[in-house]
Every structure is written in structure tokens, then in C-alpha cells.
Amino acid sequence: EIVMTQSPATLSVSPGERATLSCRASQSVSSNLAWYQQKPGQAPRLLIYGASTRATGIPARFSGSGSGTEFTLTISSLQSEDFAVYYCQQYNNWPLWTFGQGTKVEIK
């Protein structure tokens, strides 16, 4: 099983600032990496797939990068609606997909 490790567990950021979230895979997942946003009481929402492609309707302030084992999600200027938990997921090892443990982005 491919283990996904996210850091940090919690990120405290002020509105308008940049947030950088990391995700590491225990073995290469190529670019088959997705990021999801989850707000309390809601289902996860797909933000980024293919490591760097924004899903439909996702604002340009969200960007993803990386390949292989190291990935980054950047939110360029945090808006109030961006405070949430973010999960990375590898979908390279079909279909034994695995998720990271999540990074909570909270208001500083």
C-alpha cells in the first residue's frame, strides 16, 4: 500500500496570505495525485487532479505542483471560504487508492 503523508497537520494563516501544503508518497505515484477540500459537514470536493490541473470551477488561487513522491498545494491568497481540511490522494495504484491524513487550514 502506498502511504501518503501530509504536512503540516494544521496550518494557521491570516486571510490574504499564502498557504503551502505538502504531500509525500511512500513510492512514486507519477502525476496521479489529487487534492480535495472538505468543509465541516460536507463531502470532499475535488480541487486539483493530475497533480496540477484545476477541476472545473476551482479558482485560480489554487495551484498544485510536483510529481513522483513530492507534491504541493498552494493557495495564493486565502479567502474566508478556504478555511477547511485538505486531503491529498494517490490514484496511481489502481484501484488501491490512499489518502493522506489531511491538513487543516485555520484562521490565524
Partner 1 sequence: QVTLRESGPALVKPTQTLTLTCTFSGFSLSTSGMCVSWIRQPPGKALEWLALIDWDDDKYYSTSLKTRLTISKDTSKNQVVLTMTNMDPVDTATYYCARTTLVGATTQPLDYWGQGTLVTVSS
Asked if 81 is part of the footprint of partner 1 (rule: CB under 8 A), the reply reads no
What track of x and - describes contact with partner 1 for positions 42 through 61 (by CB under 8 A)?
xxxxx--x-----x------
Asked if 102 is part of the footprint of partner 1 (rule: CB under 8 A), the reply reads yes
Among positive and negative, which fits the CA dihedral 73, 61, 50, 30?
negative
CB 6 within 8 A of CB 66: no
Asked if 89 is part of the footprint of partner 1 (rule: CB under 8 A), the reply reads yes
CB 32 within 8 A of CB 92: yes
Q: Exactly one of 96, 106, 107, 108 binds partner 1 (CB under 8 A); which one?
A: 96
Q: Exactly one of 16, 60, 81, 94 binds partner 1 (CB under 8 A); which one?
A: 94
Query: Percentages helix, strand, coil for the chain, rounded to the nearest 5?
Result: 5, 50, 50
How far apart are the C-alpha atoms of 75 and 96, rounded to whole Å? Answer: 28
Q: Exactly one of 19, 32, 64, 86 binds partner 1 (CB under 8 A); which one?
A: 32
Interface residues with partner 1 (CB under 8 A) are 1, 32, 34, 36, 42-46, 49, 55, 87, 89, 91-92, 94-102
